[in-house]
Amino acid sequence: MSEFYANLKDVVDNIYSHHFTPLLQPNAPFGQLQAAIVASGVPNYLNKADDWVSTNLPIPGVPLDQKRFIFCMLSSIVLSVLHRAVLPSSRGLLFVKHLFTAAVSLFFLSWCFRGEIFLFLIQAFGGYLTLHFNPFVKSARTRANLCFLWSLSFMSCVHIKNILYRYGAWDMDISGPLMVLTQKLSMYGYNVADGNALNEMKQNPEMTDDEKKKVKKSLCREEMAICEIPSFLEFWAYMLYHPGILAGPSFEYKIYASATDLTLYKKDKKDYRPSTLSLFFSAMKRLLFSFVCIGGFIYMDGAFPKDALFVEGSEYSALSPSYTKLNFFLKLMYISRIATYSRLKYYFAWLLAESSVVAMGYSYNGVDKNGRYKTDLIKSQNIEHCEFAQSPRELFNNWNMGTNSWLRYYVYVPASPVVGAGLAKIWSFMVSAFWHGFYGGYYLTFFFGGILNECGSQMRKTFRPLFGTQSGVDKRGRPKYVTGIVYNFLGWFGTMTMVNYLAIPFIFLRVTAGLTIFNDTYWIPHILLLVCLIGCPIIRGLTSTKKKKKQA
């Protein structure tokens, strides 16, 4: 840990010992609460659950915290099937579904994170009070902004705590569920603000068309607006939705509510609700593929451990001899192999969560042209478009899709009218970095990832008209092009090589790891990015001049 973090830790320790330790004394409120929990026997039951999982999930090399995670995710699939097949759907008994969902998540959080569950409850309750019991702020939009800042700030404090006391640790902690909760609280807040704006518009028939257009333009996402405030139980059931409580994905309250009361499946007075069996088989496909992903990760991590890239004990400042003896091209391939199999563990967790969402029926997205049910309403990834992306934008749009949607609709859109589109983009990148945490490696990857994305955009504008055949226009009126197999291959190879290379700081968390790799490759990929940013506009200018001369 750096000297800065060590000094900050001393400051936090002093603050904690003087201001928070007294609250945990036996006669203090939190001390009494702690004693009551111990007296209830809950910790003993959770310890027995640990013993059972350790005995019945004898997975070699997998620590207890990850065994808990796997068991909870697998249990969630079974419970989702029961939720779908057994629990009542009549409007008067919907509270049973809400209670079931919340109770399952409370058990998962208590078992996996023990006392840290109170951090989750504090953040969620603080957001609820900010939105619904805030006597100082009347504007629903301002309340939504405050809820967003509260959630992001509280989660950031937990990220800082992890850096100070668990630096570089990969064991599971409450920060994962808090990251999902931060998205849900901010989405919920802005959806309530949108609903409030629409209600005011309906109640004011004298509004002109221009005024109505202005109101609609200010909305984050009109189709997800909450026009009727949910009950306290409905709010907590949404925040504690068990299929997504540990690994996401996040989604709007309106999807949760419509899937719970079954209106999601109704169209033109017809019920298109899929059968429990069809949803189960769809979930099993994702589950099996998740096992393939984790199997591939375990094999590759054993055969080609990522830590072998650096000299042991060097704090990621010295590269291993087996790597340094490779030529430039083979070094890029070595790095690509590490980055590629590192993504498999994310696919594993996301596919497990998606399996549970699909089994419950909450990912229903209508039917296709062949009459088959689509179950892709709630997704975290599109593996095909991630691993075979022909541009950085294609990969980024299909990676962690729930977070991309959140950043687009609930970070970028609210900021755009206030600070403009350019600053709103920068704000979105900053929020994304804060949301992930405060390890320096994240910021190095996000910074160069943003430049890579811009380079990809510049190259598309420059080279597609030169090497592609125009095939109409898109929704925005921009020309579309069909490109050949060689162009597509080069786009895929260049995209994946650059993304894998720039992901090294993210994978190892440290700036040092990234700088060590970048120095060894003489920053050549970065120089190519700079050449692209400068050269592409020049090439477009030259080709445009030639076209004008031909036309003349």
Nearest-5° angle of CA 344, CA 347, CA 349? 115
Which residue's entry shows tokens 């997704």? 379
pLDDT category of residue 353 using cuts at 50, 70 and 90: very high
Measuring CA to CA, which residue among 44, 79, 45, 47 is closest to residue 64? 47
Report whether 31 contacts 23 (CB < 8 A).
yes
Measuring CA to CA, which residue among 363, 170, 400, 352 is closest to residue 246? 352
User: How many CB atoms lie under 10 A from the CB of residue 385?
Assistant: 15
Residue 25, pLDDT above cutoff 70: no
For residue 481, what are the β-bridge partners?
470
Structural domain contains residue 334: no
pLDDT category of residue 27 using cuts at 50, 70 and 90: low
User: What pLDDT does 419 receive?
Assistant: 82
Structural domain contains residue 110: yes
What's the chain's average pLDDT? 88
Residue 37, pLDDT above cutoff 80: no
User: What pLDDT does 93 receive?
Assistant: 85
Measuring CA to CA, which residue among 389, 392, 124, 370 is closest to residue 241? 124
Structural domain contains residue 178: yes
Chain centroid, CA 392 distance in Å: 18
Structural domain contains residue 511: no
- Contacts (Cβ under 8 Å, ≥6 apart) of 99: 233, 237
Structural domain contains residue 344: no
Q: Per-residue pLDDT tens for 480-514?
A: 888 889 999 999 999 999 999 999 999 999 999 99
E strand or H helix at 331, and its extent?
helix 328-360
Chain centroid, CA 432 distance in Å: 9
Report whether 144 contacts 193 (CB < 8 A).
yes
Q: How far apart are CA 271 and CA 366, in angstroms?
A: 11
* Domain count of the fold of the chain: 1
Report whether 350 contacts 247 (CB < 8 A).
yes
For residue 470, what are the β-bridge partners?
481
Structural domain contains residue 271: no
Between the two ends of the chain, the Cα-to-Cα distance in Å is: 66
Q: Which amino acid, one-letter code, is at 265?
A: Y
- Domain span at residue 124? 87-261
Report which of residues 353 and 273 the model is more confident about: 353
User: How many CB atoms lie under 10 A from the CB of residue 297?
Assistant: 18
Q: Per-residue pLDDT tens for 207-258?
A: 888 888 888 888 899 999 999 999 999 999 999 999 999 998 999 999 999 9
Residue 33, pLDDT above cutoff 70: no
Structural domain contains residue 28: no
Q: Per-residue pLDDT tens for 119-173?
A: 999 999 999 999 999 888 989 999 999 999 999 999 999 998 888 888 877 778 8
Sequential DSSP letters for 235-250: HHHHHT-GGGTTT---
User: What pLDDT does 210 receive?
Assistant: 85
Residue 364, pLDDT above cutoff 80: yes
Structural domain contains residue 133: yes
Nearest-5° angle of CA 243, CA 248, CA 249? 95
Q: How far apart are CA 495 and CA 337, in angstroms?
A: 14
Query: φ and ψ at 266, to 5 degrees?
Result: -105, 135
Measuring CA to CA, which residue among 194, 197, 201, 203 is closest to residue 226? 194
Q: Per-residue pLDDT tens for 259-307?
A: 999 899 887 677 888 888 999 999 999 999 999 999 999 899 888 888 8
User: CA 338 → CA 171, 450, 471, distances in Å?
Assistant: 20, 21, 38
Q: Per-residue pLDDT tens for 405-418?
A: 999 999 988 888 88
